[in-house]
């Protein structure tokens, strides 16, 4: 018996026509409670950056999405990452990490000093995020400080300190 080849994951910039499927995936991944989280407060004033946001397709089906937003931490321009969502049955296959790496590299090429997010450090640390780098970032609402993570893209940039605000 011949093993079936593993389907190729295609990662492409998010296009407007991807938005309905991406929103449905994000809703399935996070449920209705996603709209009350502090990350949503940031997205209310942040500027969505489509060229830094990506969709993952497996055999033409959207199976993952990562979005990024333009903000500042103090005076430093940074990308705010999220949401990141992968179809439930495909979690653990590495698609989320692949999307994260693509998004961070796009932010680095675009000249952002860092990427900031709210999430679980053990997961995001695999691609260089840490609570230590996010320790002095202030978000617009209550948040577990250990979940405010950052990845420095410009190692010559000053440490991130201050409120997240519109860019």
Tell the CATH superfamily of the 9-166 domain.
Gcn5-related N-acetyltransferase (GNAT) (3.40.630.30)
> Does residue 56 contact residue 98 with C-beta atoms inside 8 Å?
yes
pLDDT per residue of the chain (167 residues) written in tens, 0 to 9:
566 666 789 999 999 999 999 999 999 998 877 777 899 999 999 999 999 999 999 999 999 999 999 999 999 999 999 999 999 998 888 999 999 999 999 999 999 999 999 999 999 999 999 999 999 999 999 999 999 999 999 999 999 999 999 99
Domain ranges of the chain: 9-166
pTM greater than 0.85 (yes/no): yes
> Does residue 96 contact residue 60 with C-beta atoms inside 8 Å?
no
């Amino acid at each position: 018996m011949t093993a079936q080849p593993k389907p190729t994951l295609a990662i492409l910039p998010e296009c407007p026509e991807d938005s309905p499927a991406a929103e449905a995936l994000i809703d399935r991944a996070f449920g209705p409670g996603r709209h009350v989280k502090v990350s949503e407060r940031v997205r209310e004033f942040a500027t969505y950056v489509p060229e830094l946001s990506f969709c993952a397709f497996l055999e033409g089906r959207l199976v993952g999405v990562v979005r990024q937003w333009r903000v500042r931490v103090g005076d430093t321009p940074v990308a705010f990452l999220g949401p990141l969502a992968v179809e439930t049955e495909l979690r653990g296959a590495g698609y989320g990490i692949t999307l994260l790496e693509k998004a961070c590299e796009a932010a680095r090429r675009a000249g952002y000093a860092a990427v900031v997010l709210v999430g679980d450090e053990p997961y995001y640390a695999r691609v260089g995020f840490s609570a230590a780098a996010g320790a002095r970032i202030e978000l617009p609402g209550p948040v577990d400080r250990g979940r405010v993570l950052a990845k420095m893209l410009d190692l010559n940039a000053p440490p991130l300190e201050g409120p997240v605000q519109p860019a």
